[in-house]
Amino acid sequence: MRKTQISTLMIAGLLAATPVAAQEKPVLTVYTYDSFVSDWGPGPQIETAFEAECGCDLKFVATGDGAALLSRVLLEGAGTEADIVLGLDTSLAAAAAASGLFAPHGQDGTVYDLPVAWTDPLFVPYDWGWFAFVYDKTKSDTVPADFEALAASDLKIVIEDPRSSTPGLGLLLWVKAAYGERAGAIWEGLSDNIVTVTPGWTEAYGLFLEGEADMVLSYTTSPAYHLIAESDDSKAAAAFREGHYLQVEVAAKLAGTDQGALADRFLAFIATDAFQGAIPETNWMYPAITPTSGLPKGFETLIRPDKSLLFPPEEAAALRDAALAEWQTALSR
């Protein structure tokens, strides 16, 4: 297949190469975000594992980040090729549900290892994490215990823009959930701590590692990567007294799928060890159901907040615009 592509290119043809897909096997098309299918993401392992049991061809289609994923599906509407969409998070779920494109998952008996109860009829959670500010233990000696302490300190932070990234949006909702009416004042207090606001997580985390800031908005699980993959225990997440906002990543079945049975099978497969076991060390998040082998060694060193914050999807959607305006006003001052 790759050869076909290259030779097509070399004759500068604008014709599409014919994909040599398996003709006999049914194809299950899963739209997801880019880092899921990357060679370092969970995609390749999960594809192998599912194909081994389903007698089908699992085809991942990458679409950019989580927000791009939703806009792609909305753009395609009912005519979408997708059978499953995997990678939306709770702050996007309301808009996804409102589109009417998704069908109930029917996985009702599943018990999830989430810090909150999960009863959504459309979306199946596959992993989750707490947003947190990550810092370098060797560089910062005082670690703030809440947003107010952070605002009062002279620590510098990098955050993501809520208008272009899901972690940015998560932080917006975190402050809102923790402080309600006082959110605007908190943002004003934080404004002199913020070095810059980046378009996405990648830029923010990159800046932090370059030493541009003392802390970065990421996940409580981020230090696990450095510990496990790089044997570097210098990174840690700051535990905040107000509690930590959750990001729950979900999958759902398209109502218009022509592979209904296969799609249901995949949704059920999400709950198995073969899927869940791949998550911690590729996506660096908590699996929605802890695999029987437990979490990888190193995860036990991570902080585990006592209190989890999460708006239900409809409430998150309703709060968004006002919270965004509040954020913009406070930081533009």
Partner 1 sequence: MADRAQPLSAGLRLGAGAAVLLTLALTLGPLGAVLARAGTFAALGPADWAALRFTVAQATVSAALSLGLAVPVARALARRRFPGRGLLITLLGAPFILPVIVAVMGLLAIFGRSGLVNDGLAALGIGRISIYGFGGVVLAHVFFNLPLAVRLLLQGWLAIPAERFRLAASLGFGPGDIARHLERPMLKALGPGIFVTIFLICLTSFAVALTLGGGPRATTVELAIYQAFRFDFDLGRAAHLASLQLALCAATALVAARFTVPSAFGAGLDRPVARWDAGGAGLRVLDTLLLGAAALFLLAPLAAVFLTGLPRLATLPEPVWRAALRSVLVACGSTAVAMGVSLPLALAIARRGRAGMLEVVGMLPLATSSLVTGTGLFLLLRPLASPGDLALPVTVAVNAAMALPFVLRALIPAARDLEADYGRLAQSLGMRGLSRLWLLTLPRLRRPLGFSAGLTAALSMGDLGVIALFADEDHTTLPLQLYRLMGAYRMADAAGAAVLLLGLSFGLFWMFDRGGRADAGA
User: Interface residues for partner 1 in 74-133 (CB under 8 A)?
Assistant: 74-76, 81, 95
**Per CB under 8 A, which region of 38-46, 173-181, 256-264, 293-301 contacts partner 1?**
38-46
* Consecutive H or E run containing 225: helix 222-230
Residue whose CB is less far from partner 1, 159 or 310: 159
DSSP string, 4-26: HHHHHHHTT--SPPPP---SSS-
| β-strand pairing of 194-198 with 84-89 | unpaired
Q: What minimum distance in Å lies between the beta carbon of 130 and partner 1?
A: 17
Residue whose CB is less far from partner 1, 105 or 226: 226
Local structure of residue 188 (DSSP, 8 states): H
Largest Cα span, the chain: 64
Residues facing 103 on adjacent strands = 253
List binders of partner 1 among 153-172 (CB under 8 A): 156, 161, 163-164, 169
- For residue 257, CA distances in Å to 81, 154, 252, 264 come to 8, 53, 11, 10
List binders of partner 1 among 8-27 (CB under 8 A): 8-10, 12-19
Residue whose CB is less far from partner 1, 205 or 266: 205
Residue whose CB is less far from partner 1, 165 or 276: 165
Q: What minimum distance in Å lies between the beta carbon of 40 and partner 1?
A: 4
Sole binder of partner 1 in the list 176, 226, 244, 253 (CB under 8 A)? 226
Residue whose CB is less far from partner 1, 76 or 264: 76
**Per CB under 8 A, which region of 40-48, 108-116, 129-137, 301-309 contacts partner 1?**
40-48
List binders of partner 1 among 47-66 (CB under 8 A): 59-64
Residue whose CB is less far from partner 1, 142 or 329: 329
List binders of partner 1 among 174-213 (CB under 8 A): 191, 194-199, 201-203, 205-207, 209-213
Q: What minimum distance in Å lies between the beta carbon of 48 and partner 1?
A: 13
**Sign of the alpha-carbon torsion through 140, 145, 148, 152:** negative
Identify the three-state secondary structure at position 320: helix
**Per CB under 8 A, which region of 70-78, 127-135, 238-246, 307-315 contacts partner 1?**
70-78
Residue whose CB is less far from partner 1, 214 or 242: 214
Look at residues 289, 212, 249, 242 and name the one whose alpha carbon lies nearest to residue 132.
Answer: 242
Identify the three-state secondary structure at position 98: helix
Calpha distance 50→56 (Å, rounded): 8
281 touches partner 1 (CB under 8 A) = no
**Per CB under 8 A, which region of 69-77, 237-245, 246-254, 286-294 contacts partner 1?**
69-77
Q: Residue for token digits 């899901």?
A: 166
Contacts of 72-78 with C-beta under 8 Å, sequence gap 24+, read 72/31, 73/31, 73/99, 73/101, 73/254, 74/99, 74/101, 77/101, 78/255, 78/256
Q: Residue for token digits 């043809």?
A: 13
Residue whose CB is less far from partner 1, 144 or 200: 200
List binders of partner 1 among 287-326 (CB under 8 A): none
Q: What minimum distance in Å lies between the beta carbon of 192 and partner 1?
A: 11
Q: What minimum distance in Å lies between the beta carbon of 159 and partner 1?
A: 9
Calpha distance 257→299 (Å, rounded): 37
Residue whose CB is less far from partner 1, 234 or 328: 328
Q: Which residues neighbour 164 within 8 Å (Cβ) at sequence distance 6 or greater?
A: 67, 199, 200
